[in-house]
Amino acid sequence: MRNGTRTTLAIAGCCIVALAACSTKDPNASGNGSGGQSDVKAGAGVTDDAITVGMLTDLSGPFAAGAAVQVAETKAYYAQVNKDGGVCDRQVKVDVQDHGYDPQKAVTLYRSMAPNVLALQQVLGGPTSAAVLPLAQADHLYLGGFGWAGNSLKYDNAQIPGTTYSVEAANAIDYLVDELGVKKGDKVGVVYFTGDYGNDSLAGAEYAAEKRGLKIVPQEITPKDTDMSAQASALKKAGASAVILAAAPPQLASLAGVLASQKVNVPVIGHAPTFNPALLDSPAGPALLKNYYAFTSTAPYSSDEPGVKKAVDLYEAAAPKGAKGFEVPLAYAQAELLTDAMKGACEAGNLTPEGVVEAMRKTSDLDLDGLLTTSLDYTDPSQPPTRTVFVSRADADTPGGLKLGETFEGPSGKGYTFK
Amino acid sequence: MTYFLTQLANGLSYGLILGLIAVGFVIVFTSTGVLNFAHGSVLLSGAYLVASLQGPIGFWAAAAVGVVGAAVLGVLINALLVRNLAEANPGTAAILMLGVDIVLLTELTRRIGNNVLSIGAPWGADVVSVGGITLPTSRVVAAGLAIVVFGLLWFLFARTGAGIAMRAAAADSDTAAMMGVRPSRTGAAGWALAGALAAVAGIFLASFPAPGVAPTLALSSFAAIPAWVLGGFDSVVGAIVSGLIIGVVTALAVGYEAELHFLGRGLGEVVPYAVMILVLLVRPSGLFGRKEAVRV
Amino acid sequence: MSDLIRRGPMVLGLLVALALPLLLDDFWLQTGLFAMASVVGAIGLTLLVGVAGQLSLGHAFFAALGAYTYAWTVGDPAGQEAGLGLPPLVALVLAGVVSAVVGGLFSPISGRLRGIYLGLATIGLVFLARHLMVNLEALTGGFNGRTVEPFSVPGFSFSNAAPDYLAVAGVQFEGLHRLWYLFLGIAVLSAWLGRNLRAGRTGRALANVRDSEVAAAAMGVNVARAKATAFVISSAYAGIAGALMALAYGRIAPDLFGIQLSIDFLVMIVLGGLGSIAGATAGAVFVVALPLVLAQYSSQLPFLAAPGSGGLDAATLARLLYGAAIIAVLLFLRGGLAGAASRIRHRRSAHQRGTGGPPLVPTPSPDPSGATEPPPSQPAVSTRSEEKS
Amino acid sequence: MPDPLLTVDDLAVAYDSAVQALRGVSLRVDSGSVVAVLGSNGAGKTTLLRAISRSLHSVNGAVTGGSIHFEGRNLAQRDASQMVRAGIVQVPEGRRIFRDLTVEENLRVGGCTVRDKRARKEAYDRVFDLFPALAERRDARGGLLSGGQQQMLAMGRALMASPKLLLLDEPSLGLAPQMVEQIGDIIEQIHAQGTSVLLIEQNAAMGLRVADHAYVLEVGAITASGPSAELAATDEIRDRYLGVGSTSPQRTAAVKEPIDVPVHLQRPSRKAQQLRVEDLTVRFGGLTALSNVSFTVEAGTIHALIGPNGAGKSTCINVLGGAYRATSGTVHYGDSKVTALPSHRIAGLGVARSFQNISLSLEATVEDNLLVGRHRLMHAGTVMQALRLPRARKEERAERETVHRIAALLDIERLLGHEVHALSYGDRKRVEMGRALAAEPTLLLLDEPVAGMAHGESMAMADAIRAVQQELRLSILLVEHDMPFVMGLAERITVLDFGKRIAEGSPQDVQQDPEVLRAYLGTAAA
């Protein structure tokens, strides 16, 4: 008992000593870190000859494979940039960290990266980016590569590479009505993952369906549901004349296969993460070739546009045996977006995290040579920079499995309002 | 009505596959007292072997290798790890299996990448239609094979000396050992059986209508846990019956999601657990469970 | 004197914990916050599983309850999701209270089930929680989750957003530093309360219920009530842990409170050594910090392949090592980390055992009331069908 | 002299590397003989068999000294399954048949080491020949057999491996007299067929009837041995199993010896009351454990409940304590109807008990175990303890002092800081008794309080119990096999046999009751 008292006293003593060392006066309240020797103000992650950007990605979790493609492409991109003289006369270094799709790890790793990077090139994954976004906003740190979920529009520091899943889905409904002969009163199934991705897509589809006089049949699933028989049967029973699938390749293969086996021959529409070229070799291949449409913000791997060509050439040189997919143009586009923002910050003489965000928000007319549909306008944080999407068809002979059809913007895609 | 029957048939065939997995849980639990959290990754290992070998050596040979491989993996886990626990009790064994699961799943995820490996089964994407009910051929085969497997299990446990010895060891390992039954052998047999059953289930879970072998396949063992608990921890029959119940209930909950919308979205996810808790309230040892399980 | 030796490591640990924020960067501070939040939850779970012998995999459910209760109580009433706008301190207390009450409501169910049945039934709670979190959008913000107002007491804020400046020994105390001390205080308080409970009348009764319900009842312990008490206490701990996690994240979403969290809590207490408060603490730090440290430093190893090249990359290696570490502890350390520590301390007494549960001696009969006479459930009433179909 | 089949030399066994269960035990079984080991509960009989059949590790025991040879070969390093193959098969205590397996399947497990089909067939024939009842019910599940049939099945199962040496662990346990006779006949038959038998028995009559040679095991050591006929003739056996004989002085309550055990316990505020057991019947499924038993324990007296194993004594105690439910009949303590209350409410009436199979918290210290006994009398709530409020601390301190006094009374004060798993069997019994006393009961139910204690120890325990009883004016109902202990302590004795009351009266009356003699020593002894 006595000992306990003594311990308490000792701790209290330590506290007093600690308090004595306290101060509430900010010694550098007016200063703002170290300025470079040039006229450019340098912030976190910037030295006289180097810029560090971060990638917080999933290299050991469920999205490891796709994430690795993006890491490879991003690194190749910056190697190229560095060869051409770098950004703001500085070499760009990429700091890659793996959160393994675990939000707790993501937040912690974010803490370790934030003081040392100029911008975050990527924070991959729904729950992980949802956890990091508010922190990055508080730190005024640029954040890219989190997918296309509409709720990221709440954050002015987040740069979305194209439009949102909701606008993609709304455009898809328009396309169904205008181009594929779906009639007023018809039903469209939406099979979607619970979460920012799926629910965003559903919201867009529901908005457009109301505008165009269609009915939505929603079917919620989770990533572990890979057998879509029950959903397919339900869609068949409801008489759906098209299906939008906001899920992953396993679900697409299953759904397309089961629908075909039940003689339900309707368009199946997916987003960028829905498709994987390996599916074309699976039993569901024929059904996909017949009915699959991809509505994406970034161009498919096989696009002939110069931007995409550059991305693909770079990738095939860096990873000759790597998987071919939407990740390649996406990673390239994201790197271009960030590089553009960093260059803007450099020109403004403010190469700090805040400066990068400011520069990004001043971008009103950026063209990425066909990586994205139109020129991009990031001046209004609450709106996506474009509302036009790529429409592609599955094609067995095309690298990446998707053949670009056209760009498209329908009335619902244009009119969709964000909550 | 056709719709209902289709969903029912779907649920039954899925339930039989769940039964294969749940029986594996039961056998491992009764033979070695382990709550096998690594069952999913053993299942995935088997399916992965099949998918990666079916190209070079053909589906049937690959299937045989996959089933045997998963069985061997199970035996190794038991012999190298479970039997060497510093402190053998169900709690530490369960956590050990979590560690094993992390290791296996990480390595398999690395190997599979973001591919969906085709299982290459001869039934491909064929379907069977009877009176308006359409069912994938793979499911029909799965159902048939599951029934055959359950028949073989019955024969094993009721008619062969080894099976009877396993039942005896499961009921009272101490006394069984006094009768000359070697616990190391019944344990190994249990793990081998469970691994083989998991691989069979894995082959069908990766067949059409599912797309193929992807890391998420490992999660399918989680779906069998409610079936296992519902049936009672130590009852093979219970696992089979509850597999069917869970399969049908899930299929109906998903199939009638639109009608059940007032219960919230994503019902298929909770319904198995809701059924499980309700049954446990009435029968705390499950439908066919005998004794209460050991405490941690 | 021996008392001092016994307490020595603890006091030293506490002093180190107090001094650490002066040295650490944000990465470590954030790791510390998650670790301390987990410590609180793990102590609650070890009281339930280790001391009272009730296996629960539903800890994530109660943590979620605490987290959302906190967020809702402090939430801006005019904000996107419902909120009460009450002071954070009230919210923190309420997080514990609401979880405790719900734990109490669940106790009629938990009292009926035992062992692994209880453990797996409580998994159902986690899925139920997810269903509610996703569907009760007005309260929870649905799948997107909701932001959590930072902690503050009148006149002092625990977030970076606050303008007031504070420095100790030249180190500027930002939000994370301040939260560190808040979390440390709560964690130490939790450990102290946990130790007191375990050593007192309630703890003895719970341990007795765990070891033999019949014997406990014969000593006048109301078994049903004791079990309910254990569940209530552990739920309250989980609720507070959830609120701390909410503060550490700054934003909560259903994905944070999945089955993995429940499993992680269980890993913590089993690795640490069941029933030991110090073990739960060590286990929590182990489980939270090890993957982070491995992920942080494995990338510096030279022999690893680049991500995407198909070889063994750093991230994969880190995860493999984490799995291997769990396996190694269970294979080589009897009684978990706490057991190992106590053996090191008592190295001289060779027969000292860990905290593992030995069977009854000399005949291992679960029914203490009479092995030579048939227990009540024996003859002819077997409810189990034969194992053949 | 015939070849020794089995020799045990200076055997020592410990549980949990702490509790010594056997020390210096030596015995031999000659080829073609039947050897009996007699002893009471806790003497170490089962431990001895498990050491021989190499099945100790499943109960955390280990041989710590000495050796066992079978057919000249040392058995160290062998496992249980190898022992079966070598020709030693054990029939475990309590039969332990596989309840969910059919009779035939049970036998099949027993024969699992026999590879040769014809040998297995012969074994089946032999077993069905020995036990025609089993042949009739070969497809019935083991759990549905009667107790006697289950014992036959357990023996048949062991015989399937055609052992050279059969280890029988209390085959008479819980069986009716005719059935015990029958089992005895069967053992003789088995013996006649050439199988040697090592038999463990509490039922001395049975053991001595079938054995050529017998050993008496007491608290882990052999205390007597000799040819059965000689042993049966000695008073020692009679003394040990019935408390009749010259070695035990009549130390009833009438002999007021000065008691030197100081009692510092608070006298309970309530007074002991009369315990009335009326027409108590307990059935488990089809089995009747107690039928229409009535007796009364007067306030402030020591009452004993005796009878052979399986007579229903523990069942009776368990009903009184609330662990089992009565099928019919009532128990009143004073005005309260015990049979209507849950266990913890019965404890609230001032009834405390000890258990036959010790049920202490093994990892907790002795002090904490004793404090559990104070649970009912303490008031600190959960919150108060968690915060260590002064009242809770004061209460805790006071209770710890009380517990120290109780420990002093039972001479376990030195053990207070030890964890229970490191204690010997006898010490655990004392701790359990202490826990019951700590609850300050007015009625104390003791289920075999001196099992596993040596004679001297049990007499000291008797003194302690008597002292406590007189000082606190408790009522005590005890169940015990140690006859000298019972006869020296109890004021009144109720004798049960097969769930029925067969006698009641003072120790002297009961000792001379022919029914009692028959129940204990068999018809011949009466």
C306 touching D, CB under 8 A? no
Question: Which CA distances in Å does C85 have to C71, D81, D134?
Answer: 9, 70, 77
Q: Are strands D302-306 and D475-479 parallel, antiparallel or unpaired?
A: parallel
Average pLDDT rounded to a whole number, residues B30-59: 92
Range(s) of the domain holding residue B28: 2-215
- Tell me the chain B residues in contact with residue C265 when contact means C-beta distances shorter than 8 Å: none
Laid out side by side, the sheet with D475-479 consists of D351-353, D443-447, D475-479, D302-306, D492-497, D500-505
Q: How far apart are the C-alpha atoms of D107 and D56, rounded to whole Å?
A: 23
Best probe of the C interface among A56, A60, A70, A196, by most C CBs < 10 A, is A60
Q: What is the largest CA-CA distance in chain B?
A: 59
Which pLDDT belongs to residue C316? Answer: 78
Q: Give the DSSP per-residue string, A377-404.
A: --S-TTS-S---EEEEEE-TTSTTSEEE
Q: How far apart are the C-alpha atoms of D382 and A234, rounded to whole Å?
A: 54
**Nearest CA to CA, how far is D192 from chain C (Å)?**
30
**Nearest CA to CA, how far is A78 from chain B (Å)?**
24
Fold assignment, A165-296+392-415 = Rossmann fold (3.40.50)
The residue among D386 and D259 whose pLDDT is bigger is D386
The residue in chain B having the minimum alpha-carbon distance to the alpha carbon of residue D54 is B178
Q: Give the DSSP per-residue string, D413-442.
A: GGGTTSBGGGS-HHHHHHHHHHHHHHT--S
Q: Give the DSSP per-residue string, B48-107.
A: HHHHHHHHHH-HHHHHHHHHHHHHHHHHHIIIIIGGG-SS-SHHHHHHHHHHHHHHHHHH
**Model confidence over B186-231: pLDDT tens digits?**
999 999 999 999 999 999 998 888 878 888 888 888 889 899 988 8
Cβ–Cβ gap A104/C255 under 8 Å = no
**Model confidence over B101-110: pLDDT tens digits?**
999 998 998 8
Nearest to B81 among C55, C310, C331 (CB): C331
**Is the pLDDT confidence value at D263 over 70?**
no
C389 touching D, CB under 8 A? no
Amino acid at D380: A
Cβ–Cβ gap D100/B290 under 8 Å = yes
**Nearest CA to CA, how far is D392 from chain B (Å)?**
31
Amino acid at D431: V
Number of domains chain B is built from: 1
- What CA dihedral angle connects A395, A398, A400 and A402, to 10 degrees? -40
Residues linked to residue B4 through DSSP beta bridges, in sequence order: none
Q: How far apart are the C-alpha atoms of D111 and D131, rounded to whole Å?
A: 16
The DSSP element (H or E) to which D69 belongs, if any, is strand D61-70
Q: Give the number of A-C residue pairs with CB atoms closer than 8 Å.
A: 154
Cβ–Cβ gap B294/C130 under 8 Å = no
- Tell me the chain B residues in contact with residue A217 when contact means C-beta distances shorter than 8 Å: 258
**Is the pLDDT confidence value at A217 over 80?**
yes
- Tell me the chain D residues in contact with residue B179 when contact means C-beta distances shorter than 8 Å: 84, 89, 109-110, 112-113, 157-158, 161
Q: How far apart are the C-alpha atoms of A356 and A345, rounded to whole Å?
A: 5
**Is the pLDDT confidence value at D388 over 80?**
yes
Q: How far apart are the C-alpha atoms of A381 and A418, rounded to whole Å?
A: 11
HSE of D334, CA atoms in CB hemisphere, 13 A: 13
Q: How far apart are the C-alpha atoms of D443 and D300, rounded to whole Å?
A: 8
Q: How far apart are the C-alpha atoms of C59 and D187, rounded to whole Å?
A: 57
**Is the pLDDT confidence value at D176 over 80?**
no
**Contact at 8 Å (CB) between B289 and B25?**
no
Q: How far apart are the C-alpha atoms of B218 and B212, rounded to whole Å?
A: 12
C295 touching B, CB under 8 A? no
Which pLDDT belongs to residue C357? Answer: 36
B134 touching A, CB under 8 A? yes
Determine if the peptide bond prior to D163 is cis (ω within 30°).
no
Determine whether C23 is exposed, middle or buried from the number of CB atoms within 10 Å of its CB (0-12, 13-18, 19+): exposed
Which of A335, A406, A416, A419 has its CA nearest to residue A163?
Answer: A416
Q: How confident is the model at residue A125 (pLDDT cuts 50, 70, 90)?
A: confident
**Contact at 8 Å (CB) between C206 and C46?**
no
Instruction: Categorise residue A105: left if φ over 0, alpha if ψ from -120 to 50, beta otherwise.
Output: alpha
Average pLDDT rounded to a whole number, residues C184-198: 93
**Nearest CA to CA, how far is B131 from chain C (Å)?**
30
Q: How far apart are the C-alpha atoms of C184 and C181, rounded to whole Å?
A: 5
**Model confidence over D87-123: pLDDT tens digits?**
999 998 878 889 889 999 999 999 888 888 898 899 9
**Is the pLDDT confidence value at A35 over 70?**
no
Write the ipTM. 0.82
Best probe of the A interface among C132, C137, C143, by most A CBs < 10 A, is C143
- Per-window interface: B 164-183 vs A, CB < 8 A: none
Which pLDDT belongs to residue C90? Answer: 92
Laid out side by side, the sheet with D73-74 consists of D19-30, D4-15, D61-70, D73-74
Cβ–Cβ gap C53/B110 under 8 Å = no
- The phi, psi pair for D462, rounded to 5°, reads -60, -45
Q: How far apart are the C-alpha atoms of D171 and C372, rounded to whole Å?
A: 12
Question: Which CA distances in Å does D399 have to C205, D468, D480?
Answer: 15, 19, 31
- Give the mean pLDDT of chain D: 83
Which pLDDT belongs to residue A294? Answer: 94
Cβ–Cβ gap C323/B85 under 8 Å = no
Which of B200, D135, B146 has its CA nearest to residue C389?
Answer: B146
C115 touching B, CB under 8 A? yes
**Nearest CA to CA, how far is D17 from chain C (Å)?**
7
Q: How far apart are the C-alpha atoms of D303 and D280, rounded to whole Å?
A: 17
CA angle D12, D18, D20 (to 5 degrees): 35
Average pLDDT rounded to a whole number, residues C279-308: 78
Nearest to D109 among B168, B174, B182 (CB): B168
Q: Is residue B197 part of a domain?
A: yes
The residue in chain D having the minimum alpha-carbon distance to the alpha carbon of residue B234 is D100
Amino acid at D58: S
What are the domain boundaries of chain C? Answer: 23-257
Helix-helix angle B90-112:C314-332, to 10 degrees: 160
The answer to whether the A41-162+304-373 and A165-296+392-415 domains have the same CATH topology is yes
Q: How far apart are the C-alpha atoms of A185 and A209, rounded to whole Å?
A: 9
Kindly give, in sequence order, each residue whose CB lies less than 8 Å from that of residue D174, ignoring residues fewer than 6 positions away: C372, C373, C374, D147, D309, D310
**Model confidence over B159-186: pLDDT tens digits?**
888 999 999 988 888 889 889 898 889 9
Q: Give the number of B-C residue pairs with CB atoms closer than 8 Å.
A: 181
**Nearest CA to CA, how far is C167 from chain A (Å)?**
5
Q: How far apart are the C-alpha atoms of D102 and A49, rounded to whole Å?
A: 83
**Is the pLDDT confidence value at D475 over 50?**
yes
Determine if the peptide bond prior to B209 is cis (ω within 30°).
yes
Which pLDDT belongs to residue D23? Answer: 87
Torsion sign over Cα C16, C21, C23, C27: positive
The answer to whether the D4-233 and D274-350+441-526 domains have the same CATH topology is yes
Which two three-digit tokens encode residue A97? 């960290």
- Give the mean pLDDT of chain B: 87
Q: How far apart are the C-alpha atoms of B112 and B216, rounded to whole Å?
A: 11
CA angle B293, B156, D120 (to 5 degrees): 105
**Is the pLDDT confidence value at C305 over 50?**
yes
The residue in chain D having the minimum alpha-carbon distance to the alpha carbon of residue C215 is D359
Residues linked to residue A242 through DSSP beta bridges, in sequence order: A188
Average pLDDT rounded to a whole number, residues A168-181: 93
Which pLDDT belongs to residue D1? Answer: 52
**Contact at 8 Å (CB) between A307 and A332?**
yes
Average pLDDT rounded to a whole number, residues D177-187: 83
Which pLDDT belongs to residue C365? Answer: 32
Average pLDDT rounded to a whole number, residues D276-293: 86
Q: Is residue B258 part of a domain?
A: no
Q: How far apart are the C-alpha atoms of D221 and D44, rounded to whole Å?
A: 8
- Tell me the chain B residues in contact with residue C384 when contact means C-beta distances shorter than 8 Å: 232, 234-235, 288-290
- Give the mean pLDDT of chain C: 79
Average pLDDT rounded to a whole number, residues A27-36: 42
Cβ–Cβ gap B174/D89 under 8 Å = no
**Contact at 8 Å (CB) between A159 and A192?**
no
Cβ–Cβ gap C131/B35 under 8 Å = no
**Model confidence over A130-152: pLDDT tens digits?**
889 888 988 899 998 888 988 88
- Tell me the chain C residues in contact with residue B284 when contact means C-beta distances shorter than 8 Å: 112-114, 117
Q: How far apart are the C-alpha atoms of A40 and A50, rounded to whole Å?
A: 13
Which of D50, D40, D10, D17 has its CA nearest to residue D426?
Answer: D40
Report the percent of chain C where pLDDT is more than 70: 79
- In terms of CATH, what superfamily is D274-350+441-526? P-loop containing nucleotide triphosphate hydrolases (3.40.50.300)
Which two three-digit tokens encode residue D174? 């819980």
Nearest to B180 among D99, D106, D161 (CB): D161
**Model confidence over A377-405: pLDDT tens digits?**
999 888 999 999 999 999 988 888 899 88
**Model confidence over C105-152: pLDDT tens digits?**
988 888 888 777 788 888 888 988 888 888 888 888 887 788 888 887
Q: Is residue B69 part of a domain?
A: yes
**Model confidence over A218-245: pLDDT tens digits?**
988 888 788 888 888 889 888 999 999 9
Amino acid at A382: S
Q: Match 């027969």 to its residue by tokens.
A: C351
Which two three-digit tokens encode residue D14? 């410990």
Which pLDDT belongs to residue D362? Answer: 84
Q: Match 């004793």 to its residue by tokens.
A: D370
Q: What is the largest CA-CA distance in chain D?
A: 78
Nearest to C359 among D59, D93, D374 (CB): D59
**Is the pLDDT confidence value at B295 over 80?**
no
Query: Does the A41-162+304-373 domain belong in CATH 3.40.50.2300?
Result: yes
What are the domain boundaries of chain D? Answer: 4-233, 274-350+441-526, 362-440
Laid out side by side, the sheet with A22-23 consists of A22-23, C167-168, C171-172
- What CA dihedral angle connects A347, A350, A354 and A356, to 10 degrees? 30
Nearest to C161 among A67, A72, A138 (CB): A138
**Is the pLDDT confidence value at B75 over 90?**
yes
Nearest to D289 among C204, C215, C374 (CB): C374
The residue in chain D having the minimum alpha-carbon distance to the alpha carbon of residue B175 is D96
DSSP class of residue C50 equals I
- D4-233 CATH choice from 1.10.3720.10, 3.40.50.1860, 3.20.20.30, 3.40.50.300: 3.40.50.300
**Is the pLDDT confidence value at A273 over 60?**
yes
B138 touching A, CB under 8 A? no
C312 touching D, CB under 8 A? no
**Contact at 8 Å (CB) between D449 and D354?**
yes
Which two three-digit tokens encode residue B145? 């094979």
Q: How far apart are the C-alpha atoms of C187 and C36, rounded to whole Å?
A: 6
**Model confidence over B231-248: pLDDT tens digits?**
888 889 999 999 999 999
**Nearest CA to CA, how far is C359 from chain D (Å)?**
7
**Model confidence over B109-165: pLDDT tens digits?**
888 876 778 888 888 778 888 887 888 888 899 999 999 999 999 999 988 889 999
